[in-house]
Structures are given as structure tokens and as C-alpha cells.
Amino acid sequence: MAILADQNTRVIVQGITGREATSFTKDMLGYGTKVVAGVTPGKLGQNVHGVPVYDTVQQALREHPAEASVISVPPPLVKEAALEALDNGIRLIVVVTERVPRRDTIEFLEVAQEKDVRVIGPNTLGLISPHKVKLGMAGGPVEDVKKAYMPGPVGIASRSGGMTTEIANLLTINGIGQSTCVAVGGDPIVGANFLDLIPLFEKDPETRAVVLFCEPGGVVEERLAEFVTAEKISTPIVAFIAGRFVDDIPGVRFGHAATIVEGDTGTTKRKIAMFREAGIRVAESFSDIVSALREYIGVQE
């Protein structure tokens, strides 16, 4: 089964008339996602690829009940859009917008926590459960998604949206399918991270192993290692940690806003050591991901 969303999840798109949202809405529809309505203030009565547009979330949900929202609006407007979704009962929010002001992110994440709502992002390409649902821009056009992803027993959680698809494609060409693939987001402060997703994968009877794509910076991986040990997580985890060179250049950001090392905190060396101590397999190369998974789930070449 999928975590977070499946083929029955009904979705609205906030900011649907924007260029980016118009494009990924088409791709979501093409993949079979149930996009039931869109929201852009002042655009009531329009439609995007056949999806009706409303001025407010409340209007949209009155006509088209939904459980999830994908938000694609300018950074200064994200907080207002997220709070509107939260106030109207949305249970899953995917924020594709990047560089959202940190204070704004903290504010709407606190409300989401109070309401027990899952937030993916900001600065995420979204998530995919192969052959079931696609939220956001994950995987790109439908043709590419169908080539890169296939159903199976391996979950993926990645700090890089692009690498989510790269890992899925690697697994697919080696005959290993995926259950749910999530790009957690590259901003310094995001909603659901590895700590939130691993327990969901652990509870999913169809996920038999998980691949993590990790980067320098932040302490989530270090906390995950402690959590895996303390909670006796049984689902095998294979981690690939990119950007090891960043350890030697402290205080400099590479790529994502969250990819920055300060002192010993967030270094790849520390993450690797803690992962190994917790029994998490650290892949030295992409090919190691495949070989490790074959050991865990018994997929033959």
C-alpha cells in the first residue's frame, strides 16, 4: 500500500493558474491523480485542463471534497495559502515553492502539527506512489514517470527532488519496484522529514526496505540514527550520502539552502558513523544501493 496518498486521494492545486502549476497539473492528471479543483483568487469560473478554478479553498471544497493540496504560489504567499488549506480540513499539504521565509514556514508548520496534518516541503518536487498517485512535479512528464518508476517493495525518501527519480530509475532498471517515493524538500525548514517517514514505511506491510538520499547539513540523519536504535526499527534502510567534500568547506552552502555544515554538526562523516552504528547500510556508490537491496529483499539479477 502507499503511504501519505493513494489512487483514491482527491487533490486541489492552490495557484493552479500559474505557469508551473498549470504544467504539473496536466502531468498529475495524465498519471491518474484525482485533481478535483484549483484555487487562484480572482480566477473563479476558469478551468485548467478541465479542472474548475475557484477563488478560495472553501469554495473549492464546498463543490469538490478533497484530502490533499499542492501549493504553488510565490514565496510570500505560501503561509496564507497553507493556513487556508489547514483551516478548511486538508489533511496532506505539498508545498513545491522554494525559499519560503523561515518564519512563515515555522508558523504554518506549527498549525499543521496542532491539527495533525502532514506537510511535505517547502521546496519539494512532491511524491509518487507508482501506478497510483503523483503529487507535484515529481518525476516530470508522465512519459518519464512511467519509465522511471514501477510498483514494488522499496520506499524512497530523498532530500533532493531530482535524485528521488534518479534512485527510482536505478531501481527500476534493476527490476526493483517502489512503494512510495518522497522528496522531503531542500529548504532549511521543512515539514515531514526522514524521522516522520520511516515510521510510516515501517507500518506499511508492502514496504520491505527503504532508500534514503542524504546530504550534508542539518541533524535529521543523526537523529534518525538514534531513533532507529531506540525504536528498534526493523525495516532495512540503505542510505546514500552525497557531497562528502562539503565537510572540508564549513560554512559554505552548496545546492539546497539546507546543505551547509557548521563545525562537526551535519558533517557527512558524523552521519555515516552514526548510521553504521545504528545498523543502517551506507552505500558507497549507486551500485551499492542495488546490491544492498538485493540482500534485503531477495531480488535477483
Q: Any idea how long the chain is?
A: 301
- Which among 126, 133, 112, 107 is positioned nearest to 8, based on CA atoms? 133
Q: Is 64 a catalytic residue?
A: no
Catalytic residue among 49, 64, 131, 256: 256
The phi-psi region of residue 24 (left if phi > 0; otherwise alpha if psi is between -120 and 50; otherwise beta) is alpha
CA distance 206 to 170: 20
Q: Please spell the DSSP secondary structure of the chain, one letter per residue.
A: --SS--TT-EEEEETTTSHHHHHHHHHHHHHT-EEEEEE-TT-TT-EETTEEEESSHHHHHHHS--SEEEE---GGGHHHHHHHHHHTT-SEEEE---S--HHHHHHHHHHHHHTT-EEE-SS--EEEETTTEEEETTTSSHHHHHHH--EEEEEEEES-HHHHHHHHHHHHHTT--EEEEEE--SSSS-SS-HHHHHHHHHH-TT--EEEEEE-SSSSHHHHHHHHHHHHT--S-EEEEE--GGGGGSTT---SSTT---BTTBT-HHHHHHHHHHTTPEEESSHHHHHHHHHHHH----
Q: How many CB atoms lie within 10 A of CB 51?
A: 22
Residues taking part in catalysis? 256
